[in-house]
Amino acid sequence: MSSEPRVGVAVFVFQGTKDGDFVIGRRKGSHGAGTYALPGGHLAFGESFEQCAAREVKEETGLGVHDVRFLTATNTVFGNAGKHYVTIFMTAMVVANIDGSVSEPQVRSSFA
């Protein structure tokens, strides 16, 4: 059981308008394996929410993003798992598939 809450950042990545489709992927990790989730991950020391969102989207999808904005936050305790997460939800718009490489393929099996 962790004694400290973890801060996660999850990103609704849109292409075109924020009224349209967004990117999701199937989780591979132990937490939520097999379920669908937004691109995202843990906030690194000294990193802004916007920087974390852009980094995680690039690592997990190969997509570049801009217009990264705060949407909302949740505070969730998973008592049975002994985990406590503060999750920051962001929105972002696709710039381009920067180079097509995904540096964290172990996190998600695919994105749609």
What's the pLDDT tens digit per position in 77-94?
989 989 999 999 999 999
Give the start-to-end residue ranges of the domains of the chain.
Answer: 6-75+85-92
State the pLDDT at residue 28: 85
Q: Which two tokens stand for residue 89?
A: 């939800």
6-75+85-92 architecture in CATH?
A: Alpha-Beta Complex (3.90)
State the pLDDT at residue 47: 98
Instruction: Provide the b/e sequence for 96-105 (b: ≥16 CB within 10 Å).
Output: eeeeeebeee
What pTM did the predictor assign? 0.81
What's the pLDDT tens digit per position in 23-57?
999 988 767 789 999 999 999 999 999 999 999 99
Percentage of the chain lying above the pLDDT 90 cut: 62
**pLDDT tier for residue 21 given thresholds of 50, 70 and 90:** confident
Q: Give the alpha-carbon dihedral of 28, 31, 36, 39, to 10 degrees.
A: -80
**pLDDT tier for residue 6 given thresholds of 50, 70 and 90:** very high
